Structure 1
Amino acid sequence: MRHIAANGLNLLIAVLLVVLGIIGWGVSAFRGAGPLQQETIVVLDRGDSLPVITEKLEQDGAISNGTIFRIGARYTKTATTLKFGEYAIPAGASMEDILAILSSGKSILHPITIPEGFTSFQVVQRLDEADFLSGEITTVPPEGMLAPDTYNLQRGTPRQTVIDQMMAAQKRILAAAWEGRQADLPLDTPEEALVLASIVEKETGIPGERPEVASVFINRLRAGMRLETDPTVIYGITGGKEVLDRGLRRSELQTRTPYNTYMIDGLPPTPIANPGRAAIAAVMQPAKTDYLFFVADGSGGHVFSSTLREHNRNVAEWRRIERQRQSEQN
């Protein structure tokens, strides 16, 4: 009996040693350096289960034993905290390291820039061209209601989510600017201010000019003068869906449309583009001037004037510059 008991104890000890050895080997494999020789990118899609993620990591050569990886994920309670996204796995990363990376949510971010003055149609086009985004945008958002900026986005982010983010940002920007606006502006609502900001945005690309350009339109509205601005006429022709790569025809300037500010009083019915924060601020806090006119100065900026006579001289000078440039090209 003693012999049998001794054999049983020895067997139990042997089994325990084997189990402990297996556990030790598993822990070592889980925490030890992984097989990757160089950094690799792993993409976790929305809804990926632990087995699917494990298979992806095995296929990418990031782990050498899927079973240990799954056991480790459950033991460390990270199996349910893995987040979708695109992750950089460094060379030699252990399974423990990989789980920490995939649970952090610090995935690779892709920048996408929406320039100031883009129309909503152009914004949708740019998002459609970004192949790291997902889903569709079913309708073009309202003109002016998207905030131009550089957005850093995860792979797989739905395009509609990006649109919603842009709209929320523009709403916040507009509300804050309207709250701090100058007194007695000839604008009744934030929406009217947004319309004018879009015109300012399309009239000048020089940041320092925006308050002066805004002052011209503010002064004209106060005086009951028509805005007479080409970008609105162009928008009436293109609807913001294309670039008009030619000058406006006289017939177009004389055709009444809701956007022809040579023919209508006041503001057009909607913005003509998505203005940036600076253009919105310029409309809410325009420069204090008596300017009523401006024209290109030949260097990318504009020259401003308070009287029609002065403006006509500036226009004549601009035309002289244009003729000189044309003769130099010929």
Structure 2
Amino acid sequence: MDNLPKKLNKTITITATAAIVALAWIVFVLVVPVKTANGEFLVQEGESLEQIAENLTNRHFIKNKTVFVFLIKVLGAEKNLKAGQYDFGDGVSAIKIAYILSKGLSHTSDIKITIPEGANSWDIDKILADAGVIRSGEFAGKFYADEGFLFPDTYFLKKQEANSETEGIREKMKENFKLKTADFFKNLSSGKKKEVVVTASILEKEAKTENDMRLVAGIIAKRLSLGMFLQIDATVSYGACLRNYQYKYCDVSQIGVANEIRIDSEFNTYMRKGLPPVPISNPGLAALSAAARPLKSDYLYYLSTKSGDKIIYSKTPVEHAKNRKKYLGI
């Protein structure tokens, strides 16, 4: 019994010490600023607190996701987080970030640019030119070689940046691609990564739903393994635009494929086997996921209906010919 007070005192001391250490760590996590090379951060519409905290952690703006989420909830600011483009500057604490996000202190005067999934370099150029950000042809002329790696997303551009720096816009898109696909590509070789991106860029033009994308990806993979021509109109159209229009705007959907398939090029998948040498659009995550996880099936052919809202699959050339006549009248 005489030892009880000593043991109790020791337990209290250990507990108190642990509590002080834990409190000091939490204060360190919340109060000490984190140095970053780039203070810009985008919060998209509909993103949850957990998603925002995850992105902040991945960008090294905060030290601990769990503590940040707890802070926001304790402050009752979870429903007050505002979408927008933020600039936290060079070194800011988690508490300051929580305040900025909850008050919506974003760059409301910035130019908002939305690049849709499947847009190619000509489409991006037109979107930027229509917004008054660049002169027509300026973006595509410089960065067409980055096709496939300009991530489709919403971007907020500072007016001074937008008016003078196309390189900065391109870097935002490429950096966003790296950020959004880091986990996705971490176990893939560079060769496999390129194959996935090229296939995904085709899927953006050939299918709309995730299931159709995976089915078409499976058909592409099967035709490649069998040494068959892919015979994909979208690759032919892209090659025609590249040859005839170079850096001027070209709507690939308006290219007459019937004549183009007779002209040999690296993108003519009616005359050359294999995938085209480079991506033909800039795919989103759904298409990239489908390209990496193709769905196996008995199908070897497919076509889109005239309305483009449905894909018809077939297993044999005879069945495909019947579907062409039935749905396309050819």
Q: TM-score range by the shorter chain?
A: 0.5 to 0.7
- Find the aligned partners of 1:207 and 1:153 in 2 and give their Cα distance: 31
Match of 2:192 among 189, 211, 230: 189
Tell me if the contact between 1:200 and 1:213 (Cα under 8 Å) persists in the aligned partners.
yes
Q: Indicate the residue corresponding to 1:146 in structure 2.
A: 150
Say whether the 8 Å CA contact 2:143–2:170 is kept in structure 1. no
Report if aligned partners of 2:147, 2:280 keep a CA contact under 8 Å in 1: yes
Task: Give, as a single letter, the amino acid of the residue that structure 1 aligns with 2:226.
Answer: A
Q: Tell me how far apart the structure 2 counterparts of residues 310 and 179 of structure 1 sit (CA, whole Å).
A: 40
**Which residue of 1 is the match for residue 171 of structure 2?**
164
Specify the SS of the correspondent of 1:242.
coil
- TM-score between both structures, scaled by the size of structure 2: 0.57
Q: Give the gaps of 5 or more residues in structure 1.
A: 1-84, 87-99, 323-330
Q: 1:279 aligned to 2:287?
A: yes
- Per-residue deviation, 1:242: 0.5
Structure of higher CA gyration radius: 1
Q: Which is helix-richer, 1 or 2?
A: 2
Shift of 1:238: 0.6
Structure 2 equivalent of residue 111 of structure 1: 112
Q: 1:178 to 1:234 in 2, by over 3 A?
A: same
For 1:1-330, what aligned pairs fall within 5 Å after superposition?
106-108=106-108, 109-131=110-132, 139-141=142-144, 142-158=146-162, 159-179=166-186, 188-239=191-242, 241-244=249-252, 245-249=254-258, 251-299=259-307, 300-320=309-329
Is this contact kept in 2: 1:178–1:284, CA < 8 A? no
In structure 1, C-alpha distance between the alignment counterparts of 2:155 and 2:256, rounded to whole Å: 34
- TM, length-normalised to structure 1: 0.57
> How many residue pairs are counted as aligned between the two chains?
215
Identical-residue share of aligned pairs (%): 33
**Structure 2: 5+ residue stretches without partners:** 1-84, 87-99
> CA contact under 8 A between 2:235 and 2:276: conserved in structure 1?
yes
Following superposition, the deviation at residue 171 of structure 1 comes to 2.9
Contact kept? 1:207, 1:278, Cα under 8 Å? yes
| Poorly superposed stretches of 4+, deviation over 4 Å | none
Shift in Å, 1:189: 2.4
Q: Deviations over 1:63-105 (max 9, x none)?
A: xxxxxxxxxxxxxxxxxxxxxx99xxxxxxxxxxxxx9xxx96
Please, what is the CA RMSD of the aligned residues? 3.1
CA contact 2:210–2:290 (8 Å) conserved in 1: no
Q: CA deviation at 1:200?
A: 0.9
Give the whole-Å Cα distance in 2 for the aligned partners of 1:231 and 1:164: 27
Distance 1:171 1:226, change over 3 A: farther
Deviation at 1:264, TM superposition (A): 0.6
Q: Is the 8 A contact 2:240 2:255 kept in 1?
A: no
> What is the deviation of 1:279?
0.8
Shift of 1:119: 1.2
Q: Helix, strand or coil: the match of 1:219? A: helix
